[in-house]
Amino acid sequence: MRALRPCPPASAASTNPVPATLTHTGALPHMNLNISHLSAAYRAGSLKPSQLVRQLAEKIHAEDTHHVWIDRVNLEEMLIYACQLEAMDPTSLPLYGIPFAIKDNIDLAGYPTTAACPDYAYTADQHATVVKKLIAAGAIPVGKTNLDQFATGLVGVRSPYGACKNSIDPDYISGGSSSGSAVAVALGMASFSLGTDTAGSGRIPAAFNNLVGIKPTCGLLSTHGVVPACRSLDCVSIFAGTAEEAHAVLQVAQGEDHEDAYSRRAPAQAVHSFPPRFRFGVPRTEQLNFFGNPETPALFAHAVQALTAIGGQAVEIDFSVFLNTARLLYEGAIVAERYAAIRPFIESHAEAMHPVTRSIIQGASKFSAADAYATLYQLKANQAQAQQCWDEVDLLVTPTAGTIYTIEEVEQDPIQTNSNLGYYTNFMNLLDLSAIALPAGFQHNGLPFGITLCAPAFHDLALLELAQRLGR
């Protein structure tokens, strides 16, 4: 980092007033953290990064009733980033002065990385590659967020730091495992955030908090500096308010990294957009599952109509190979990769783990090497079968989750509720797909519903462009 210069005191920070959308009382309920809004204010000179972080710190450091944070960057440290930026032209960096949150299985230099397990924690001596890229582009880190321990879960309640509560109705789950990252954005404490996604952790929380969630092609974003869940399947994911803002972050965060053996560069022939007339797959009616929710089937049907209205043709497909692949993630030997990721820790500190997380990961010890190969052979066959789908359609649309649960419902039945949430998500990385979760309406109780668009690897930009066509 460059040599620091002191920030002026708050009263002398600028002769320009803070924009009306940033004027606040108490808990700052109306801060506009949209990237486009902040960037325009910086360029106009009506806002400085130091002004923003002074106001944002008040909200971030207020009582954490939703259990969003594991660690928060203090105001003095945020001001260091802000004052470095103020020596620069606001147009010189794509994410100049944009605040972001980081899931606490991703390294931020000088801060503990806990993976929501205090006994596992270590202090990172350098930023994860993706964090380093974002900071170099002008983004300001504001804190480390809560998660399902060791990124194992889709619910957001498996944490000693408290069950992360839904941003709209705190009686409901936030989704996981990237729970705090989604809620931080939804509650206006960050413009965007980083999560991870192995089995749906970057999509379920997006759906439950009315956000856009990018699950990029595996390897498109480096996982160097990320605590692995299943190293061969892990992705760093992005939460944002709109597809346009998610796109701006993706453009900065992506890129091949020699420090990550699973890193990949997008090929020159990567698809950047779907044609004006496109075909999208929809699971057969009998293969759709809404788990007894009476409202979400109609919301999904409306989303299908919206895709048709912008030029899509719905094609019913046999979804069975996707469902069969999803089962391999936890019911087959692939779950042993979670055990391998933290083997020394779980073999010496199993009692320090959340009981549900421990039971899932310890259960992998029953599989043999022969079992692992049998599972890989089955996965290869499934991949070949799934490939036939892409000969018929350009992309696939599903619900992100068929329903949502209260925190109490999940605590009463932690395994089955979590399994239900993975119905439409667990197959994605096993089949090397790109995906984006999008808001798709609200139930009568005010809780959001979401859909996921997915396509083969390296269709990330095409999915983002289509999301923008949908007005997301």
Give residue-wise pLDDT tens across range 255-286: 999 999 999 999 988 889 999 999 999 999 99
Q: Which fold does the domain 278-432 belong to in CATH?
A: Methane Monooxygenase Hydroxylase; Chain G, domain 1 (1.20.58)
**Rounded CA gap, 103 and 114, in Å?**
10
Of 3.40.50.2000, 3.90.1300.10, 3.40.50.300, 3.20.20.60, which CATH number belongs to 33-253? 3.90.1300.10
Residue 35 CA to chain centroid, in angstroms?
Answer: 17
Whole-number pLDDT of residue 268: 86
In 237-317, which ranges are continuous DSSP H helix? 243-253, 296-309
Whole-number pLDDT of residue 30: 61
Percent of the chain exceeding pLDDT 90 equals: 91
**Rounded CA gap, 36 and 41, in Å?**
9
Whole-number pLDDT of residue 141: 98
Percent of the chain exceeding pLDDT 70 equals: 94
**Rounded CA gap, 172 and 252, in Å?**
33
Give residue-wise pLDDT tens across range 190-242: 999 999 999 999 999 999 999 999 999 999 999 999 999 999 999 999 999 99
Check if the beta carbon of residue 226 is closer than 8 Å to that of residue 259. Answer: no
Instruction: Return the structure tokens found at 91.
Output: 């147009």
Q: Tokens 């990961």 correspond to what residue?
A: 361
Domain boundaries, the chain: 33-253, 278-432
What's the half-sphere exposure (Cβ side, CA atoms, 13 Å) at 16?
Answer: 16
Planar angle of CA 355, 401, 220, nearest 5 degrees: 85
According to DSSP, the β-strands at 99-103 and 192-197 are: parallel
Whole-number pLDDT of residue 331: 86
Catalytic residues: 103, 177, 201
Residues 6+ apart with CB under 8 A from 258: none
Give residue-wise pLDDT tens across range 46-63: 999 999 999 999 999 999
382-399 mean pLDDT: 96
Check if the beta carbon of residue 460 is closer than 8 Å to that of residue 217. Answer: yes
